Amino acid sequence: MGKTILIVDDEPNIVESLEFLMNREGFDTIVAGDGEEALQALQSQVPDVVLLDVMMQGKDGYEVCRQIRATPDWQQAKVIMLSAKSRDTEIAKGLAVGADAYITKPFSSKELVQQVNKVLGARP
């Protein structure tokens, strides 16, 4: 059974590339344009991995991640944060609210795919 990836970012240009990349790597993808949409998407289907942008209008990535971790039904979803924020403090905060990985933009596609496979493989 194919793994599902939820892509959350408010910039359509990166979403387009991520969606294409993940499809080509054999994942099913769902797209959400902001935090609210992401939470709605989670309610209808819990993905295996959430690629979560941090800086978004309205609910930001930290908030979305916190809610995912606070909802028992969503625990199987792994969260990889993607962010232009690169300070130690911001990375630490991302991991603290429950992200499984934190990748700073710009990132290499190869690394991202590796990271996705890693969090999926590490699943018990």
> Are 39 and 67 spatial neighbours (Cβ–Cβ below 8 Å)?
yes
Whether the CB-CB separation of 58 and 36 falls below 8 Å is answered with: yes
Q: By CB under 8 A, tell whether 14 contacts other proteins.
A: yes
2 binds other proteins (CB under 8 A): no
Report which DSSP code applies to 17. H
Residue 114 sits in the site that holds other proteins (CB under 8 A): no
Looking at residues 48 to 87 of the shown chain, list those that interact with other proteins (rule: CB under 8 A): 55, 82, 84-86
Q: In what order do the strands lie in the sheet with 78-83?
A: 28-32, 4-8, 49-53, 78-83, 101-104
Give the residue with the Cβ less far from other proteins, 24 or 118: 24
Q: What are the residues binding other proteins (CB under 8 A)?
A: 11, 13-14, 16-18, 20-21, 24, 55, 82, 84-86, 104-110
